[in-house]
Amino acid sequence: MNYSEMHYLPLALPFFTILVGAFILLIVLLQIGVLSYAYTRLGVSLGGAYLLLVGSLVGSYFNIPVGELPGRNIMVGREIVFYGIHYVVPLIVPHPGTIIAINVGGAVIPGLMSLYLLFRHQLWAKGIVATAVVAAVCHGLAKPVPGLGIALPVFVPAAVTALVAILLSRREAAPLAYIAGSLGVLIGADLLNLGHIQGLGAPIASIGGAGTFDGIYLCGILAVLLASLSGRPDQRTAPR
């Protein structure tokens, strides 16, 4: 496989366009100040919010290969008719391997941002609990899809993430939502299902990419906005 073939949109163009449209709407709302407090609660500046949103969308096109699952030989049956009698002849068909990759916009950027928020807000205990809950839900919802890899319903993880974050800490709900939404989906949907990848016939299994990117992207944005409704930030702690 050529290296250029590693890069592709994680969603079909019409659905990816919907995410781009949501991004543009958020930018407009941020620009006029309607939702700027959401990212203030998260702990980033308005410029940082722009960079986070753009980087996630653009980065979703790029995958970094980190390994490969070997192919397997599969035995199938072929019938041969001889004088009206059907004979089954076993054939061994090689099954191609699967390249394991990490998606930049759906795994690298959210992962680094989550670590930053953990250190900034010192949310280690609550972050672990929230991430574990979201990971458990995502693991239960994730389904292996032949030819694709692991797929996850879009809106349920975001709603669960916001609810868990608010229940654990209304004050720190926004950073908790981003941390749990990003890491919870990556761990529960992708990492815990790597063992199911080999038999799906997917040429590339992208962690944070196709199948889970939409869930991660919405968890990183929608869940943060939902969590931010718990109250406006203390102006003394707002980033400059």
Kindly report, residue by residue over 26-67, the tens digit of the pLDDT: 677 766 665 666 666 777 777 787 788 889 989 999 999 998
- Provide the CB-side half-sphere exposure for 225 (13 A, CA): 16
Kindly state the average pLDDT of the residues 128-152.
Answer: 88
Q: Is the pLDDT of residue 94 over 60?
A: no
Kindly state the average pLDDT of the residues 113-122.
Answer: 92
pTM comes to 0.79
One-letter amino acid at 148 equals L
Of the pLDDT bands very low, low, confident and very high (cuts 50, 70, 90), residue 145 is confident
The dihedral region occupied by 122, where left means phi > 0, alpha psi between -120 and 50, and beta the remainder, is left
Of the pLDDT bands very low, low, confident and very high (cuts 50, 70, 90), residue 109 is very high
Nearest to 207 by CA among 221, 228, 193: 193
Of the pLDDT bands very low, low, confident and very high (cuts 50, 70, 90), residue 240 is very low
Q: Is the pLDDT of residue 237 over 70?
A: no
> What backbone torsions phi and psi does residue 215 show, to the nearest 5 degrees?
-65, -45
Percentage above 70 pLDDT, the chain: 72
Of the pLDDT bands very low, low, confident and very high (cuts 50, 70, 90), residue 236 is very low
pLDDT tens digit sequence for 181-235: 999 999 999 999 888 877 666 778 889 987 788 888 887 776 667 655 655 544 4
Do residues 198 and 98 make contact, with C-beta atoms less than 8 angstroms apart? yes
